Structure 1
């Protein structure tokens, strides 16, 4: 168990009693892999600090009732401090010197175990050093986040440029494809027109109306005239011509 990868946390707790109008900020960091440090200050006249060893943190895990492994407890500890429900309870207040101690209380969510860290007040040089350390760490955290933000923006800009270039390339290819399809259709049309010998004959919508009749009805043969000397003079009688044609 160690705190080698512990990243510093910063936040603003809600102060109790709420009659204290000056805001406080807190920092939780690991000055070395075997120790956790909590600093709370108003950057004016009141600064608190607590140091917890690995063994003391393990005892805190048993006191809060958080099960699981050591890494599970650290994750719960960090999540609770980042939840936004963090309170600074001032204790042992004096009218002349102010509070002598305090507790930093954090809860992941309603109904979950509370993390509570007892703090002692620092005075003189120790208080000044704690405030200076918190300010420096906060500035470094700000610069680190700023660099990450700039890198993210640069990455987004690169992706935007790549997307724009791909869209332009896609549009150019689409134009080429449309031109090729049009050219192929025109070639097919020209070839069909050349084969038929009549421009547009295959594409005329009234083709059937203009086509001549292919099978006209045969002409009737004229009736055969019987010679006068063979005509019958008997009225009402039907004569037959027995002569072969």
Structure 2
């Protein structure tokens, strides 16, 4: 990663004196950004009486890398420096003889997380015009960053608005298709119901015609005829007259 690819970093440093019983400190803001592709600049200020600055070239950053003992590639080292400066544990240690207008110099200390190597950058104190220039640069950089973030926020809101409109239009389209589908299905159900009613009606008509009075009478007549069939002559009992026979007893009479 080249230094020119580093996005400006703004943050608040937890300031403290290295010597005990020193005067209280105001809140400090810092700004870390690239100066082209060859160096990195750090500005720290309380916008009052303490303003510090440091500029580190690529060679100086390489020396810091060796002193810290961070292995890996150059890009991994820069990524670690950025992650450390963006962490919540960034401290500003004010050192040297304190005076009414501020400290002589300071040191910015940061680490990615506890137990990881410390990033330490020594800062020189600025005064008069140099301090005002550094504060003006930081303020302008902060405004540009805010404007850029605001622009990104507006673009994101517009994109979300467009997506919301697209989703609403798609939902309305789906609802229209669903209504059309429901209409078609309802029509088909109505036709199917009518067909079923017709089939049932036809079946009732057929059943009714089969059970009509004329047909029932015809069936009864056939049944009666079958019941009253004439028995064949050869099966009928022969009725004859009384046979009179002369018995021997009678002959004697």
Query: So what's the TM-score if we normalise by structure 1?
Result: 0.81
- Alpha-carbon spacing, 1:230–1:137, altered in 2? closer, same or farther (3 Å): same
Q: After superposition, where does 1:1-245 map in structure 2 within 5 Å? A: 2-17=2-17, 20-194=24-198, 196=199, 198=201, 221-222=227-228, 230=239
Bigger share in helix: 2
Give the greater-gyration-radius structure (CA): 2
- Alpha-carbon spacing, 1:228–1:118, altered in 2? closer, same or farther (3 Å): closer
Q: Compute the displacement of 1:229 (Å).
A: 7.8
Q: Compute the displacement of 1:174 (Å).
A: 0.4
Count of equivalent residues = 226
Alignment-derived partner of residue 240 in structure 1: none
- Alpha-carbon spacing, 1:228–1:168, altered in 2? closer, same or farther (3 Å): same
Structure 1: gaps (5+ residues): 202-207, 235-245
* 1:36-56 Cα deviation digits (max 9, x unpaired): 111100011110011111100
* 1:42-99 Cα deviation digits (max 9, x unpaired): 0111100111111000011111111111111111010001111100001013243431
- Alpha-carbon spacing, 1:191–1:87, altered in 2? closer, same or farther (3 Å): same
Structure 2: gaps (5+ residues): 212-218, 244-253
Query: So what's the TM-score if we normalise by structure 2?
Result: 0.78
Range with bigger deviation, 58-67 or 135-144: 58-67
